[in-house]
Each structure stands twice: as C-alpha cells, then as structure tokens.
Structure 1
Amino acid sequence: MKVVGVAGSLVGWKTNVVIHHVLKAVKEIDVTIETELIDLRDYQVEFVTGEPLAYYNQDTFDVVNKIQSADLLVFGTPIYQASISGALKNLFDHFPVDAFKGKVTGMVTTGAVEKHFLVSEYHLKPILSYLKGLVPTSNVFVHNDSFDDQNEIINEEVLKRIKLLATEMITLRK
C-alpha cells in the first residue's frame, strides 16, 4: 500500500511540515506502508490548457501519474483569500473525473485566520468528491500560531488530530 502526500504550496513550509507529519503518523501505524511526499515547489507542473496529459512536460506527467498510482492520498494547502492555493487547483485540473475512485483522500490546510478551517469542507472536499475520492470525516486545519519560528508544530492537539486523520485513512482503506 502506498500513501502520497501533496504539499500544494509554492512558498513557505507549513503545509509541507503538516503533510510530513501525516506521512510519519501513517508509518507509525503500519511500517509496511510506502509513503512519498510531493512538494509542488519541486516540480514545474504546467498550467492546464485542455490537452491530453502526454502533451505536458515530464514533471506534470510524473506528478499526475504518481498521484494516480497511490492507494491513499493526502492533500495539503495553505489558505489564500479563503480558498486553496492556485498551484493545487491547477494540479487537480489535470485529473480525469474518476481519478480518485477507490482512493482515500485526506485533507490538510494551514492558515492565519481561524475561520479558514471551513475551506476544507467548502472548497477542497467538493473537488476531491468530484474526482470520486473517499474523503475521511477527519481533516486537519493548522493555525499559524501552532508553529514555532522554525515551522515545527508545537500544538499537541494538532499532532493528535494528525494521528486521528492517519488512523481514519488507513481504516477506510482496509
């Protein structure tokens, strides 16, 4: 079984850190699970133009195929202007309608405004559901105050929610 985490930001580290913690929690539950972190700033994912996937650059092709080959997915995004990042939305636009059918698709968001915890439910979840992903009841929103100056999570409640999400994702998959 393979879990791919996608850090959907082109700047900053908070989303990457949270996704890393989710993947680490998955490995703590089951060491046989393979994990991979895709940080979108490490790839040149092209803007969607409506062409077949084979027409895009190698990075775009590789990222889309790595995600489609995973058994479980966890998507993370910072909240910008009360929505997901443009980089993550662009990535989603590369997938066909049934791309996540049979896959558990977890959600992680980070942001500076408490009310932005709703973005997971009202922006990200509809996209994952449209792509036929199975969305766990748990998701993780991490307020910027939950990080120290080195972007490490210092809030124990956040770490508990991360473990809860990892547990639910694995349970749903099994």
Structure 2
Amino acid sequence: MKLVVVSAGLGVPSSTRLLADRLAAATAADVATDVRVVEVRELAVAIAHHLTSGFPGRDLAAALDAVARADGLIVVTPVFTASYSGLFKSFFDLLEPDALAGKPVLIAATGGTARHSLVLEHALRPLFAYLKAVVVPTAVYAASEDWGAQGLAERIDRAAAELAGLMTGPAETSETRVARVAEGAMGNTAATPGNSGREAGHGNPGEPGPDQSTRAAGPVGRAAGASAAADLLDVVPFEEQLARLRAA
C-alpha cells in the first residue's frame, strides 16, 4: 500500500507539515503502508514553469506520478483568505483529469483562528469531489489554539481510521453494484408472499397473472429493476458508511 501526503505549508517549521505528519503516522498505525511526503513549497518554481510552458520538471513529474499511483492521499493546506492556498490549488491543477478518480482522500487544513474551519467543507471537499476522489467523512482543522488542546488527537485518529478503512476495504465498481442490487430486487420480488398464488392464476382481480409475471421477469423487467437500483445506489446513510469503516 502506498500513502502519499501533500503538504502545502510555506514555513520551516510548518504547522501544516506537523499536522500532515501526525495524520500520516495515525494512518500508518492502522494499515501497513509506505508513506511519501510531497512538500509543495519545494516545487513552487517547477509548478509555475509547468503552468506557463506545459512541461513539468523531473521532481514535479515524480510528485504528480506518486499522487496518481497512491492507494490513499492526505492533503493539508494552510488557509489564506478563507480558502486553500494558491500554491496548493496550482499543484492539483496539474494532475490528469481522472488521476484521483475513486481514490480515498483525507482533507485537512491549518489556520490562525477556528473561524476558518469551514474551509474544509466549502472549499476542500467540493474540490476533491469534483476530482472524483472519495473524501473521508471526517476532515481535520487545526487552529493555533488546538495544538496541545483536547479534541485534536481524537479527530486525527478518527479521520486516519476512516482513511485506512477505505484503503483496505474491498473495491466494487458501479456496474457491479447495479447488478448486485438489481439481482437482489428480482429475488425479493420472486419470494414475496402471495406471488405463488398469482402465478397459479389465483389472487385478487387486477393483480398480475402468469403472463404478466413472466413479462416482469423478462429483459424489460430486469432493465427496469437495474435502472431503479442505479437510482438508489448513491443514497447511503452516513451512519451505515461509518459503521462499515469501523467494522473494517
């Protein structure tokens, strides 16, 4: 397993890098993984050249490739003007469009005041949802007063456990989910009490007879069942998702 940490801190030392390291250590404690840290600050000149010329330098190309090949991703940015930093955004602008598709991502940020904590929900989460990543439910924000205070360690451990669960959980494509749910829906229909009587020509007037039941189980019925199942696939209660992660 490969875990890549993208830290966009500008200072040395950096609270952004400190938070990134703590998140990486907590994740590595839950799942065996090789950890690589990408310091965006060190790639600033190469990022600017790539944006203007279209050609990445060797170090930048290696960093982008590592992010694309990672099994899990931790991204941490400082907050500037109520959003992520421009350097952080520029780095992810250089990725291929589908590089993060289906990839588990833990989002985090640091700032001078807790008033900027909503940057996680109004800026970072929409960005990585657009990039088709799978963002873990718990995001971590660390203000200046959070360091050494109660609560930060618990948020770090919870977010890391969710990321580890997504990294090690079984993968299932959307096509597989549609087929599985459609098959289950057809099985439940066949096993519904009273179906056997209607299939034998009994039951209340207006209920489907033998020929109608046959048609419902045919290609048109299966297609309708698959379509209905596909419409419901994305609606999964948060409590159920979290329970699966904890069980893993």
User: TM-score if structure 2 supplies the norm length?
Assistant: 0.63
Aligned to 1:46: 47
Cα offsets for 1:120-152 (capped at 9, x unmatched): 1111111111111001110000011123xxxxx
Q: Secondary structure of 2:133's match? A: coil
Give the Cα–Cα distance (whole angstroms) in 1 for the partners of residues 161 and 87 of structure 2: 28
5+ residue gaps, structure 1, are 148-153
Conserved in 2, the CA contact under 8 Å of 1:6 and 1:76? yes
- Give the drift of 1:80: 0.8
Partner of 1:15: 16
- Closer, same or farther in 2 for the Cα pair 1:51/1:95, shift >3 Å? farther
Contact 1:101 1:133 in 2 (8 A): yes
Q: Is the 8 A contact 1:10 1:87 kept in 2?
A: no
State how far apart, in whole Å, the 1-side matches of 2:34 and 2:41 are: 22
Stretches of 4+ moved more than 3 A in 1?
A: none
Q: Which has the higher contact order (CA 8 A, sep 6+)?
A: 1
Between the aligned partners of 2:158 and 2:121, the Cα distance in structure 1 is 17
- 2:91 maps to 91
Which residue does the alignment assign to 1:106? 106
Kindly indicate whether the alpha-carbon contact (under 8 Å) linking 2:9 and 2:15 is maintained by their aligned counterparts in 1: no
> Whole-Å Cα distance in 2 between the matches of residues 46 and 37 of structure 1?
17
More helix by proportion, 1 or 2?
2
Aligned length, in residue pairs: 165
Larger Rg over CA atoms: 2
Counterpart in the other structure of 1:164 = 158
Query: Aligned ranges for residues 1-174 of structure 1 at < 5 Å?
Result: 1-12=1-12, 13-30=14-31, 32-44=32-44, 45-47=46-48, 48-49=50-51, 52=54, 55-147=55-147, 154-173=148-167, 174=169
Contact 1:6 1:40 in 2 (8 A): yes
CA RMSD of aligned residues (A): 1.6
User: Within 2, Cα distance between the matches of 1:57 and 1:172?
Assistant: 32
How far apart are 1:51 and its partner, in Å?
5.8
Q: Could you tell me which amino acid in structure 2 is paired with residue 21 of structure 1?
A: R
TM-score scaled by length of structure 1: 0.88
